Chains A and B, each alone.
Chain A
C-alpha cells in the first residue's frame, strides 16, 4: 500500500474523531446545537448548557476517547504478542482480575470511590499470576495464551459466585460494571499521559512488531531482541488494559475489532496501524457512548452493549468486503 493511501486513511480517521467529539458533546437528553457548542467551548457563559457541557459531557467524552484509545492500542499489541488475530486485551484475564476486584468492593458495600483502585489492583494481580505461571522460562505464545485463558475462566467462576450471592441492588451495578459503562467514569491527566506514552513507546517498536508478526524466529533473525520485546509488549499491554478497565469497566469489542477493521482497510504496517488504532478506537467509543446516552433517553445503556451492537455488524461487513476484493 502506498504511503499516500496511508496518509489519507489517517487524515480520514482524524476527521472522524473531530466529528465524533462534536456528536458526543452536542447529543444527549438535552441537545446542544453546534453553534452554541462552539461558543460555550471558547467563551463559556454561565447557564444550564455550560454546566451540561463542562461538567457532564466533556469529562465523559474524554473518558470515552481515552478508554477507546487504550483498548485499541492494547488489542494491537496482544494480537502480535500472541500472533493470534482473535486475541483481545482481555484474553489473558486482565479484565477478569479487575472485575473480581471491583465486584468485591461493591459486594462489601465499601464507598464506590474504591472501585477503580480495587479493579486496578485485581488487574495487576492477574497480570502477575499469568506471568508467573507462563512466563518464567522460555514462554511461547501458545503457553501464554492457554495460561491466560484458564486464569480468565477462574476469574469468571469467582465473578459468578459473587453475582449469585449478592442482593439484587448490587447485582444491577455489578452488571453495569461488567458490561462496561462510562456514566461513573473519571479521567485524570495521567490517563492521557499514559495513552500518549504508550503510543510513542509502541510506535518506536513498530518495525519490530512487523517482524514479530511473522514469528519469533523470524523476528530474531531480522535483528530483533525478542525476549526483551515480548516483556515490553506484555507489560505495556497489561498496564494499558488495566487503566482502561479502571476507567470504564470491561468494555468489550473495541480491542478486538478496531485493529482488525484497520488491517482489512490496508493498514497492516504497524507504523500506521498503531496510531490509526488509537484514533479509531477513541472515535468508536465516543460514538458508541453518544448512542448509549440517547437511544433510550432519558435512560442510559452501558456503553459495552453498544460497542457490541455496532461492532458486530460493522466488522462482518468489512470482513465480507475484504474477502470479495482480494
Chain B
C-alpha cells in the first residue's frame, strides 16, 4: 500500500502557550480532499503553515509522502507542497505574467531559465481562471477577486502534489467560488494529488471535501468523513452557536440560527 500524501502523528499545534489542537492524527491520501473548519483563531492557518514548515512545530510528527518533514529541504518541499495564502503582499510592482511564473520557481534549479513548457503551464493556468487577457496588467490594478484568481493560477503553475488552501473563497463571487473549487477538486482527482483547505464556508466544505477536520479551539477536534462530522450537534458545539441544516437536491445546506 502506498503511503498517504500527508500524515500527522500526535501533532500539537500551539501559538505561544496556547494549545490550539493536541494529539492530531490526520492522514490525507491521493485523490482526497480535507476541509479544516473551526472558529476564528482555532488553528486552521497554523495547521496549514505547519505542514510547510512556515511556523514553529515538531517537524518529526509530520510526514509528507511517507518521509518526516525534518528530512525535507525547503526546495524539495516547495516542489511537492503548494499553498494559497489568506493574504497576498504586493507592495512591489509586478505584472500578472510575472506573478504566475513565480509558481515555477521551485522547479528551476540554479541558473536555469523557464522553458517553453513552463510558459505553457502558466498560460494554461491563467486560462483556467479566466485571466488570460490580462497577462501584461500590473497586479496593483486588479480587483480583489482577480488577485485571488491570480494566486490560484500561480498555485496551479506550481503543480504541487499537496494543495494547501487558506480561505480559497476569499474575495471570489459565488460563481467563481464554485468554479474554482470544482476545478481544484477535478485536478486533485485527475493527478492523484491531495488538498487541504481551511474555510469558513461549511457548505463549500460539505460539497467539495470528503474529509472534515473540525477544530474546537480548546485542543480537541473531530475528524472523519464529511457525512459523520457535519452534524448539527458537532457544528453547533465547535462554533458555539446553533447551526441547523436543510436538505436540498445538491445536498445539505447549513445555516446559523442564533
Contact surface of A with B, Cβ cutoff 8 Å: 1, 79-80, 83-85, 204, 207, 210-211, 213-215, 217-218, 220-225, 263, 268-269, 271, 326
Among the stretches B16-24, B105-113, B124-132, B195-203, the one at the interface with A is: B105-113
Q: B52 touches which one: A1, A213, A221, A224 (CB < 8 A)?
A: A221
Q: Judge whether A221 and B54 touch: CB under 8 Å.
A: yes
Q: A-B contact count, CB below 8 Å?
A: 73
The minimal Cβ–Cβ distance linking A10 to chain B, given in whole angstroms, is 15
Q: Judge whether B102 and A210 touch: CB under 8 Å.
A: yes
Q: Judge whether B98 and A269 touch: CB under 8 Å.
A: yes
Size category of the binding interface on chain B: 20 to 34
Bound Cα distance A268, B75 (Å): 23
Given contacts A214-B88, A214-B92, A268-B93, contact A220 B74 (CB under 8 A): yes
Contact surface of B with A, Cβ cutoff 8 Å: 49, 52-54, 74-79, 82-83, 85, 88-95, 97-99, 102, 105-106, 108, 111, 113, 137-138, 141, 158
Of chain B, the residue at the smallest CB distance from A209 is B92
Bound Cα distance A97, B111 (Å): 36
Closest 3 CB pairs of A and B: A223-B78, A215-B89, A223-B75
Q: Judge whether A223 and B88 touch: CB under 8 Å.
A: no
The minimal Cβ–Cβ distance linking B159 to chain A, given in whole angstroms, is 13
The minimal Cβ–Cβ distance linking B71 to chain A, given in whole angstroms, is 15
Q: Judge whether B52 and A207 touch: CB under 8 Å.
A: no
Q: B94 touches which one: A225, A268, A326 (CB < 8 A)?
A: A268
Chain B residues near A326 (CB-CB < 8 A)? 137-138, 141
Chain B residues near A269 (CB-CB < 8 A)? 98
Q: B106 touches which one: A79, A210, A223, A263 (CB < 8 A)?
A: A223
Bound Cα distance A85, B90 (Å): 11
Q: Judge whether A84 and B91 touch: CB under 8 Å.
A: yes
Q: Judge whether A214 and B102 touch: CB under 8 Å.
A: yes
Bound Cα distance A213, B98 (Å): 12
Chain B residues near A1 (CB-CB < 8 A)? 95, 97
Bound Cα distance A167, B216 (Å): 72
